[in-house]
Amino acid sequence: MNETRDRILDVALDLLGENPDAGMGDIAAAAGVVRRTVYGHFPSRLDLVRTLMQRAVAEMTAVLTDVDASGTEADAMWVEFIARVWPVAHRYRVLLALRRGEYGEAIHGLLGPVDELLADQVKRGQDSDVFARHLPAGMLSQLAYGVVFAIADSDLSNGTRGARAATITSLLMLGVPEKRAIALAGEQP
């Protein structure tokens, strides 16, 4: 069955998200199978991780290009992006957790497209004077969505409270005035 395979991937996404050094044994145990079974689906640990990242990157990319096509103002677009990403942000915190570590280099490539889309979005916001320019678009986008994932990973992750907080905080650091940030974040209560 690939039901087992999916369960392994699910559980691995979870474990590696909170501890990037979790071993095949831990993952197997958490998935309710034996270590040997995991190797039956993924020849090596790197294979597992790569598959995981490809999944995560694909979903993020889909959301990003989708939001991108909406063609609204940069700040409203960002808000929509957060709203769409929020439900899975906690799940995909692995995207941040695994950047450093043994496979850091191997993963950098996978994340390239996502980083690029994010940076483009912020850059367009800066060009239309919606976002501030105190930092280059590339770094600002990294920091902004880093903050979003950090909040998603914390205690507030349940409920809409977390989403609101993440939206407002990221908008603030992007240079959106507090009043407008709150107004934008309040649009979907």
Partner DNA sequence: ACTTCATTGCACACCGATGTGCAATGATGC
Partner DNA sequence: GCATCATTGCACATCGGTGTGCAATGAAGT
- Residues near its own copies, by CB under 8 A: 19-21, 97, 100-102, 132, 134-135, 139-140, 142-143, 146-147, 150-151, 154-156, 164-165, 168-169, 172-173, 175, 177-178, 182
Residue reference for tokens 């990221």: 170
Number of residues located near DNA, criterion CB under 7 A: 20
* Residue 32 in the binding site for DNA (CB under 7 A): yes
Encoded tokens for 123 = 């850059």
DSSP calls for 38-100: HHHH-SSHHHHHHHHHHHHHHHHHHHHHHHHTT---HHHHHHHHHHHHHHHHTGGGHHHHTSS
Kindly state the smallest distance separating residue 121's Cβ from its own copies, in Å.
18
Q: Of 33 and 132, which has the nearer Cβ to DNA?
A: 33
* Residue 87 in the binding site for DNA (CB under 7 A): no
Q: Of 41 and 90, which has the nearer Cβ to DNA?
A: 41
* Residue 1 in the binding site for DNA (CB under 7 A): yes
* Residue 109 in the binding site for DNA (CB under 7 A): no
* Residue 24 in the binding site for DNA (CB under 7 A): yes
DSSP 143: H
Q: Is the distance from CB of 174 to CB of 132 less than 8 angstroms? A: yes
**CA 6/CA 151 separation, integer angstroms:** 27
* Residue 143 in the binding site for DNA (CB under 7 A): no
